[in-house]
Amino acid sequence: MVCLLLYAYCVGGFSSRKIAQACERNLAFIAIVGQERPDFRTSSDFRKLHLEAFCEVFVQVRRIAGELGLVKLGNIATDGTKIQGNASRHHAMSYGYMQKDVARLREDIEALVTQAYQQDAEADAALGRRRGEERPAELARREARLATLEAAMQRLEARAKAEAEAERRRRAEAEAERQRRGPKRRGKAPTEVKATPEDKAQTNFTDPELGIMQTNNKGWDYCGNAQASVDEAHQIIVACDVTAAANDKGQAEPLAQMAVAYLAPAGIALPKDAAGAAQKIPATYENGYYSAAAAEAVEHMGFEPYMATGRQQHHAWEAAVPQEPTTAKERMAAKVRTPAGRALYARRKVIVEPVFGQIKEGRGFRRFLLRGLDRIRGEWRVVCLTHNLLKLWRQARAPLTV
């Protein structure tokens, strides 16, 4: 089953029904399964039950890549891409509409309960004993709907509270930096941070863990933000993750932790200088990942981060670099503008972005089939694992050079 799933993902067969169909018609699939051809439910259940076990397979494949010299750790580029989730845009509701619907459902439930009591009283008076003690179907349906809406409102309220706490911390850090530098505040004072959801805040009932995100082709959809850290030498993925956050802020540190945690089990040695001391691994990020805390955390884990601090338009004159950068952001900007920083950062887009093209366009993986963030992470891990397998296969088929 492991071989069957890995081969299916390599050739772009992600649906369990398509895998079962290929086991009946495709000679390559028949050669793997023989006479014991699993149905779609078997492969689907096997994938769901053993998603965590594929993490070890991911490490083993990277170990083989390291032994073959396909991982050089010369430049690890990190980026993210939006992949559609298994959730309908039409099976969602806003917080404001939920409040109106909850009020309506409570009125309907109260009316149905009153009606049920009246019917019971009439039956007792006519028949002398209680009849029809089962709950009316309309009442049960409305109570189930009410519970679903209240749970969705609690999720939105918890999310709004967490976002408010993060915004308060960001403002406190900005205020501390402003007081350190000394400039006076200009303009109006910032509005108070609200810990309650906005009326337009939405949640999905099919997969509540995914958030609505802006996409390139459909405008807005429920997606997972798939992350990948890719080595420069042969585009081997060294770390991968999926987050429900629409932006990339806060993703640099967890991906760096995964990369470090996977390097040692994979037997990939860290680069060293002539004296034998460990060197920091260059890591490039676009401006969406930058924050002073993220850069410091990544550097503390043994990487040399090169993060763009802002978006620069094409063919635009560069701003003058301060002689003595005072803030962490200015120091990072000056670091990226150095000749070494330019050379490393220029390679970022040709390292990681083609990987997403090979996965989404080459193999056709544009939608997660599983639901729930943990299962989505496991599914993305299998996709990245098979990407590395294809790199190993192509390297083995490459002609020898003299």
pLDDT of residue 17: 94
Q: Residue 281: enclosing H or E segment and its boundaries?
A: strand 281-285
pLDDT of residue 110: 82
Rounded to whole angstroms, how far apart are CA atoms 185 and 366?
Answer: 46
Rounded average pLDDT over 248-261: 91
Q: Residue 55: enclosing H or E segment and its boundaries?
A: helix 54-67
Q: At what angle do helices 2-10 and 40-49 cross, to 10 degrees?
A: 100
Closest listed residue to residue 375, CA positions, set 45, 6, 81 = 45
Beta pairing class for 211-214 and 202-204: unpaired
> What digits encode the pLDDT tens for the residues 361-380?
999 999 999 999 999 999 99
Rounded to whole angstroms, how far apart are CA atoms 215 and 82?
Answer: 7
More confident residue, 144 or 5: 5
Judge whether residue 381 has pLDDT over 90.
yes
Instruction: Give the CA count within 13 Å in the CB-facing half-sphere of 9.
Output: 23
pLDDT of residue 317: 45
For residue 298, what are its two tokens?
Answer: 């990544």
Closest listed residue to residue 41, CA positions, set 16, 4, 15 = 16
First-to-last CA distance in the chain? 40
Q: Residue 77: enclosing H or E segment and its boundaries?
A: strand 76-84
Q: Which residues pair with 211 in a beta bridge?
A: 223
Q: Maximum distance among all alpha carbons in the chain?
A: 101
pLDDT of residue 92: 82
Instruction: Give the CA count within 13 Å in the CB-facing half-sphere of 307.
Output: 28
Q: What is the pTM of this model?
A: 0.82
pLDDT of residue 163: 81
> What digits encode the pLDDT tens for the residues 177-233?
777 777 676 777 777 888 888 888 888 888 888 888 888 766 888 899 999 999 999
The top-scoring range by mean pLDDT among 27-31, 259-263, 291-295 is 27-31
Q: At what angle do helices 54-67 and 252-263 cross, to 10 degrees?
A: 70
- At residue 228, the 3 state secondary structure works out as strand
> Lowest-pLDDT range, 11-15, 28-32, 168-172, 283-287?
168-172
pLDDT band at 158 (very low <50, low <70, confident <90, very high): confident
pLDDT of residue 128: 54
Mean pLDDT of the chain: 85
